[in-house]
Amino acid sequence: MKLFVGLGNPGPKYAGNRHNIGYMALDRIAEDHGFAPWRSKFQGQVSEGKFGSEKVILLKPETFMNLSGQSVGEAMRFYKLDSTDVTVFHDELDLAPGKCRAKAGGGHAGHNGLRSIHQHIGPHYDRIRMGIGHPGNKNAVSGYVLRDFAKADQDWLDDVLRGVSDGAQHLAADDTGKFMNAVALRVNPPRSSTTQPKPKRPPEPAAPKPVPSPTPAPEAQDTRSPMQKLLDKFK
């Protein structure tokens, strides 16, 4: 059994926030793969489903971001899971928008949701880091993550969420390589093999070289005497 956790803040006010991309990822997985309807449990929203023989629990903590670990710890203890059975989907400031990386263990890098999870279950859980970019100033981070994605972000955001959903079955099977390939196929699809390169334009034909005019033959030398020339005029 696996526990997939999506981080975010509850309520319609936060639904479109950058900070809620973890919620969005789990919503996409549940919708695409026919998981059970969401229900309230473990101080959050829970949906259950299967990938093959592997049961997967989706959990969206509703304790607000800073207390996410309470919900995660409660669910983990109920199902008697180890922290290595937990995968957390969260926003990542240090990755460009549209980038996605899988990571096993490590620090919380100042992310309040991860910090709380560290406190309740330790650092040995997997993460799916979903890039949202950085505002460029650390003092602007709070306002940035709590604002909705811009309209210009919708195309790449949809690609990433669909890629995560495509790869969820591989993640449940502990195959992060295939998971990342599934995301890449959505974000950077290969070019169609039927697309032919544009034909090169044939070189222009060379202009014909001008044919030189024939050199006139030199006139025959006149060997007549002046007197003969004069007499010939009166003939």
Positions annotated as catalytic residues are 19
Ramachandran assignment for 142, one of left (phi > 0), alpha (psi -120 to 50 degrees), beta (any other): alpha
Cβ contacts of 130 within 8 Å, gap of 6 or more: 21, 22, 25, 89, 90, 91, 92, 95, 100, 160, 164
Q: Cα-flanking dihedrals φ and ψ of residue 144, to 5°?
A: -65, -50
| Residue whose token pair is 């990571």 | 103
Which amino acid, 178?
K
CB 3, CB 20: distance < 8 Å: no
Cβ contacts of 127 within 8 Å, gap of 6 or more: 87, 88, 89, 90, 102, 103, 104, 106, 114
Measured CA to CA in angstroms, residue 77 lies from 30, 74, 121, 230 at distances of: 23, 5, 10, 139
Which amino acid, 235?
K
